[in-house]
Structure 1
């Protein structure tokens, strides 16, 4: 998740301020089982329901129920598994002003799903021998607190102990004063580095967007390219994604849905469609659509862009949020592997279950929580209770900000 400016993006989602988590419970800390990776504390038996007309009707009803309860304007869903059928559908509206319907071909901001692209870029450099996961970040970026001891691996695993810049009050103030303004990576890091480190490297899991900003700078340093150019050319293109973009600024290719948030100075709901996502950068700035995210979910979980040994390291998870595991920029949520995303106006869940070869992608045009729960998590939970009752997608909601 990038997160909401000010709340945790639950479920692998987010960056945040009062603004937003970009995707996973940002700002949350749990003790990790030492430096050792552990198996995901979840089942993955691969049992996926046949998508019969009756099951599809159940899914329709479940999606509409969540929409009504969480006041979601519009949502699109993709579910599929070999031999089980396919469910692809859009609900609600894409634009409150025109009442244009949500469509499955619309572009959406994907928040912290961006993290999966940034970490993939880093792991490509590992495969090329240009960086090592156990290299200290100080080798690549000067001025990082504990930079001589925090490793690239710990940054990707959210175990660095570095404060999440999007939880800094000064960041909130700057963002809300002008949501259209651009931020540089150095500005974002400055908001983090003025805070003391929160714990020793490797001691805990703490979802921090700061970690991904640093990894983005590593990619830039070692490739000699801007991060957006490298990801667009060396990750997006080889993955065969035709409608996925790491933007240079606030550009948002058409057609796209309008996004709605209450992460505002007034607390009132506003249209955040054209807010500049540079504050999320390597942690949450990207754009995509349902078809591309359906393809990416499998690419991410199976590691087709990486060497098998590197993908295996990526999928080794540590205990993170209760009942979940987090690897190298990737979640394992009860057998569903991928990431979620949340930033003002948009949320996404992009996951794949290897045992069933099943894909679940959900994209919606609001990040407004419902009784403290991320709406994307509510959709994913309701859907998986129907199609994978032994592997229900859950991501604990947190009271922490961003």
Structure 2
């Protein structure tokens, strides 16, 4: 586990046979609870054999104007965009305009190690190129437009963080560069490539490259939660481009992913390449396994938006989630959708909390280390709320759910303290890690 809060990739629980009589009441009750406790705003859709069999929407697309989310509400989907960009890249490969082993020095000779970095290395995050969105100054300029030359200079400045193809590490820079390459090779802008090569052929009426959010066009604003929902900033879409600039709906995302795995966009050989994994990275895809079966897809996060898309080709199931405000685990929601589909039981969340004071929290404060993870966690108190911050990550608030137990539902994190022994158990994703206060 590289991060305590990790929405990238997920593992589903084991499930068995499909229930021919899909029943949604318990699933509906999950969304009722999420809405009642103000934990989630967004939209979910499930499809089977290419047909939508369940949708659910809750919350507001625009809180101030009291515009509610509905099935036509469009969301920024963040890095799910990379699936689209990968498809466009393989289209260019199939047209003989580029090859997987072609060095990017042909396009960007000033990038460090360019002669040893291939198109394939960009697709599967094995380039070593530093992630431009991880720059310390990123949030100082991400809401302002950037030209291609300005972005390229920022990427060049970042340099290399490891030798090409020596390992995999996620970098948005890879897909920004792919965007530029595609625009040059296919002689069209990224927005129009998405429109003409994917959206129009599949009749995706609500999928396109985003720009400034327009709520009058059924586009959602995004929000972060403090003691209430606060409108998030808007990243200028000239920055993420093919790494994260697409706007869509869950039903459109399911249609796109289903078409991809049915061979309607690229060949079987190209899809096989997309599904070739090294160090957990495919070429625009992640594996999403459950039981003995395999799912494939991607997740996304940009500003206050989060999203997930998963397809299980053998069962012809696709499910997508888009959110513009989230205080609960997307993974847990999708597991619940699967469980309902397969007529399996799942637990409804308990959002009951207990009252604590700043004085109550003093016994938990400090820096905790673990022999299991090389990741320290700092526990602090802010305005009567316990917060946790892992090394290199932002802090997040914890809710008191039991004596000595605190949770952060959005990432499925539970912390259980033993003040007398100065220990803490960190539980996430079915794993338990023991921490000791230094």
Is the structural similarity TM-score above 0.5? yes
Secondary structure of 1:193 counterpart: helix
Structure-to-structure mapping, 1:32-71, within 5 angstroms: 47-53=17-23, 56-66=24-34, 71=39
Partner of 2:44 in structure 1? 77
d(CA) in 1 for partners of 2:50, 2:151: 46
| TM superposition shift of 1:243 | 1.6
Matches within 5 A, 1:149-298: 149-175=116-142, 179=143, 181-247=144-210, 249-250=211-212, 252=214, 254-261=217-224, 270-272=230-232, 275-298=235-258
Distance 2:263 2:115 in 1: 30
2:430 is aligned to none
**Which of 312, 332, 337 pairs up with 2:296?**
337
- Assess if the C-alpha contact under 8 Å between 2:286 and 2:297 holds in 1: yes
Give CA deviations for 1:176-199 in whole Å, capped at 9, x if unaligned: xxx2x2122332343333234121
1:316 paired to 2:276:
yes
Tell me, yes or no, if the aligned pair for 1:116 and 1:300 is still in contact at 8 Å: no
**Contact in 2 for aligned 1:167/1:401 (Cα 8 Å):** no
The answer on whether the counterparts of 1:301 and 1:337 sit within 8 Å (CA) in structure 2 is no
Instruction: Check whether the contact 2:124–2:283 (CA below 8 A) recurs between aligned residues.
Output: yes
Check whether the contact 1:164–1:210 (CA below 8 A) recurs between aligned residues. yes
SS at match of 1:327: coil
Distance 2:12 2:249 in 1: 29
Distance 2:130 2:257 in 1: 29
Displacement, 1:224? 1.9
Richer in strand (by share): 2
Stretches of structure 1 that go unaligned for 5 or more consecutive residues are 1-5, 13-23, 25-40, 321-325, 393-397
- The TM-score, its normalising length taken from structure 2, stands at 0.70
Residue aligned with 2:168, SS: strand
Structure 2 counterpart SS, 1:194: helix
> In the alignment, what sits opposite 1:381?
335
- Are 2:71 and 1:135 equivalent residues in the alignment? no
Deviation, 1:83, is: 11
Deviation at 1:376, TM superposition (A): 2.7
Task: Give the conservation status (yes or no) of the 8 Å contact 2:79–2:299.
Answer: yes
Change beyond 3 A, Cα 1:98–1:382: same
- SS of 2:55's partner is strand
Of residues 265, 269, 283, the one that matches 1:328 is 283
Are the equivalent residues in 2 in contact too, given 1:185–1:213 (CA < 8 A)? Answer: no
- 5+ residue gaps, structure 2, are 347-389, 395-438
1:363 counterpart = 2:322: yes
Q: In the alignment, is the contact (CA less than 8 A) between 2:307 and 2:323 conserved in 1?
A: yes
What's the CA shift for 1:349? 1.4
Q: Quick one: distance in 2 between partners of 1:47 and 1:332?
A: 21
Instruction: Return 74-83 or 43-52, whichever deviates more.
Output: 43-52
TM-score, length-normalised on structure 1? 0.75
Q: 1:150 & 1:83 partners in 2: Cα distance?
A: 38
Kindly indicate whether structure 1 or structure 2 has the higher relative contact order, using CA contacts under 8 Å at least 6 residues apart.
1
Contact 2:121 2:164 in 1 (8 A): yes
Residues 131, 158 of structure 2: 8 Å contact kept:
no
Q: Secondary structure at the match of 1:76?
A: strand
Residues 30-51 of structure 1, C-alpha deviations (whole Å, 9 max, x = no match): xxxxxxxxxxx99998844445
Task: Give deviations 1:214-272, integer Å, cap 9, x for gaps.
Answer: 1111101211222222222222222321221114x42547112221136xxx9995324
SS at match of 1:155: helix
Matched, 1:116 2:83: yes
353-362 or 60-69, which deviates more: 60-69
1:352 aligns with 2:311: yes
